[in-house]
Structure 1
């Protein structure tokens, strides 16, 4: 995986057409390169002794897929799995064949990271069939390696490990993007737009949960491939799968850290908001407590009954004002002494 590739620009060009399910097909020469094959050539291809391997990438919703699977004498339950939308990652061995369902990040336009795409694969050591419903970029990346003759896979085992490694690498890109968003939010002042920040953090948490929900079974599927794959899946292929499993485990741990960071940031913003509201309520309570005795005095002196003192005294108003000022200063002194201010 030395070559960088852009996750954000989906390559949806297809070699095939709607008349048949073939998206692309290659016959690997055992030296890291391969030649293109048509749908008819792929169906007629037979293994020979010079190390060639057939890889066909199919759209499982197009007509012709199930007919070819029957021609390959694939059992009915496996055929149903290969063309079904039950896409929970899994892997198992059936005789000398390996069957698996894998999931990758959806980088198609308007898609969310947690909207992962599935890809089924079937391999007997000489043929590798990969099937998908929606455009998936990972096979295209491996295809470019083969077409450029740049250290491409030379057998089915290497081909499977390259595909799984590319899928996992793309998962890491999504996790890195989420971590960058969290770092950006941590550097912002929560007072600027707390509601907007909370909305973005909630989106990050949903993405983390969605990715982990799918990546956990993916981890189990890769372990099953390493454990039950037939003999044509060689020891160095199992080591590569083990490395991919270890990387996926680290990514799952990174997801946990990202989720916890989002929770801490969300709690911090909410805590600041609660503290600000409590401070406002406290100040309003203090103001109300200070003006409560003043309101009582002015209300008492404002009653319209006979016998009110000072009604005929020109200085009575200023006496009341002075008394209110004294009460105000006394209340401030008491609150200061009680450390309420």
Structure 2
């Protein structure tokens, strides 16, 4: 079982071992577990004395952002970017953190290393966290601050694709647009319920949530809503961009097919004439010294006539 613990007294944080964290006297005890194995479940149940439904929620395999109030505590699930940037359980692009908070104690659990956890640790060590409300507000703020520029980068990548729209780069652009679209859908899937979870937590009648904590939670919820709206715009733009690239590719194929058809129409009568005079049977004037020049001139005239016809019909441009 891996993780860490902090004891906070008077705004000063001291890192402590998980085994001895609950035996410490402090204004706030924060224990973070970075695994969900049986040892973690046993510790949460036997040492932390948490109820079974809380332990099950903290160690569940699949989670979605939500907030539930139980007695004097609150259970909160949030999603943030993982440290390695790789998809998590079931291909999810975001890692989850599950938090159980009561007065004086906060327990958090992650299956994958999350960038926001390190940021929250820094804030705790600098003395900015004094109670469970401050800690949860730091989690919400760190997650949104880390995710916001990444969402903006997705929009910038899509802008670059729109500026670089070219028939010769269709396959490259389609791969890039598809990746942006998949990521935007993956992020938006969790940002909408995350906004609702933060707003619900801010409205809970918990005595360990101060007014400034509620303001920070509402600010994080508003930021999550703005990112969700931006991701929806990116998703729609990606779909339109994909359709434009498909149309551009189809137009490119039609143009090439037209060129091949024109070339075939030019050489079809020429092939007939050369094939006719290539037969091993007696033909009129086949031994005449001027016959080669006559056939060559006829082929040139037919070629010019076919090309001029296509140009006048606007089927082909020189």
In structure 1, the partner of 2:124 is 146
In structure 2, the partner of 1:24 is 5
* Cα offset, 1:286, TM superposition: 1.3
* Residue-by-residue CA offset, 1:78-113 (whole Å, 9 max, x unaligned): 221112223222210001110122221112265689
Match of 1:161 among 133, 137, 141: 137
Instruction: Give distance in 2, aligned partners of 1:335 and 1:133.
Output: 67
Judging changes above 3 Å, is the alpha-carbon distance between structure 1 residues 101 and 66 closer, same or farther for their aligned structure 2 residues?
farther
Of structures 1 and 2, the one scoring higher in RCO (CA 8 A, sep 6+) is 1
Judging changes above 3 Å, is the alpha-carbon distance between structure 1 residues 305 and 174 closer, same or farther for their aligned structure 2 residues?
same
Q: Between Structure 1 and Structure 2, which shows a larger proportion of helix residues?
A: 2
Unaligned runs of 5+ in 1: 1-17
Q: How many residues align?
A: 313
In structure 2, the partner of 1:86 is 62
Q: TM-score, normalised by structure 2?
A: 0.85
Judging changes above 3 Å, is the alpha-carbon distance between structure 1 residues 332 and 26 closer, same or farther for their aligned structure 2 residues?
same
Counterparts of 1:28-67 in structure 2 under 5 Å?
A: 28-29=9-10, 32-45=11-24, 52-61=27-36, 63=39, 65-67=41-43
* Residue-by-residue CA offset, 1:259-315 (whole Å, 9 max, x unaligned): 233334433433333322221211121122222223333333333334x21134332
Judging changes above 3 Å, is the alpha-carbon distance between structure 1 residues 68 and 195 closer, same or farther for their aligned structure 2 residues?
closer
In structure 1, the partner of 2:79 is 103
Q: TM-score, normalised by structure 1?
A: 0.80
Judging changes above 3 Å, is the alpha-carbon distance between structure 1 residues 303 and 116 closer, same or farther for their aligned structure 2 residues?
same
* Residue-by-residue CA offset, 1:39-74 (whole Å, 9 max, x unaligned): 354222457xxxx22222223436255344445543
In structure 2, the partner of 1:126 is 104
- RMSD value over aligned CA atoms? 2.8
* 93-102 vs 198-207, which moves further: 198-207
Instruction: Give distance in 2, aligned partners of 1:173 and 1:105.
Output: 12
Instruction: Give distance in 2, aligned partners of 1:336 and 1:194.
Output: 29
In structure 2, the partner of 1:325 is 300
Unaligned runs of 5+ in 2: none
* 223-232 vs 117-126, which moves further: 223-232
SS at match of 1:339: coil
